[in-house]
Amino acid sequence: MRAILGQQLSVAAATTLLGQLVERFGAPIEPLVTGITHLFPTPAVLADANLQKLGISPPRRAALRQLARSVCDKVIRFNAPSDDVSRMLRALPGVGRWTVGYFELRGLSEPDAFPFGDLLIRRQVALGGKPLTPLELEARAERWRPFRGYAVFHLWAGARPPRIA
């Protein structure tokens, strides 16, 4: 869900949307931790949810609902081998190479996962020049195998200003 919501959005915007999704469709709980008031909605709830009021595009809404339906129908099984999960996700409409790469990286902890065409990474690797094209970045990232995922995390971290305590 987070990978689909985060397509072509900033981390802050995707986090806000995810919070709204959880607040609207998740089951409320007695908070044991500050700020956690709802469980994440189940696939069954999201498969039939009216996502229009979240302010996301119709194709993205359709992709979220299709993902939820596919989990309910066991078309997508997250306990399958990583390659199979990736193949199942790629078969969904609205789920492209960036989304699958992001999911492999964050959801499956694949060390060589790569969110194809990520704009922030394209800018970071260009070192202040014109951002690389997605294909140029993919070619450059071949040198980082089998640990492209680690490079991605370093490049993302390097793009943020340092936190001052």
The backbone region for 80, taken as left when phi is positive above 0, alpha when psi lies in -120 to 50, beta otherwise, is beta
Task: Identify whether 118 is a catalytic site residue.
Answer: yes
CA-closest candidate to residue 8, choices 54, 57, 53: 57
**Active-site pick, 48, 73, 84, 118:** 118
Q: Point out the residues that are catalytic.
A: 118
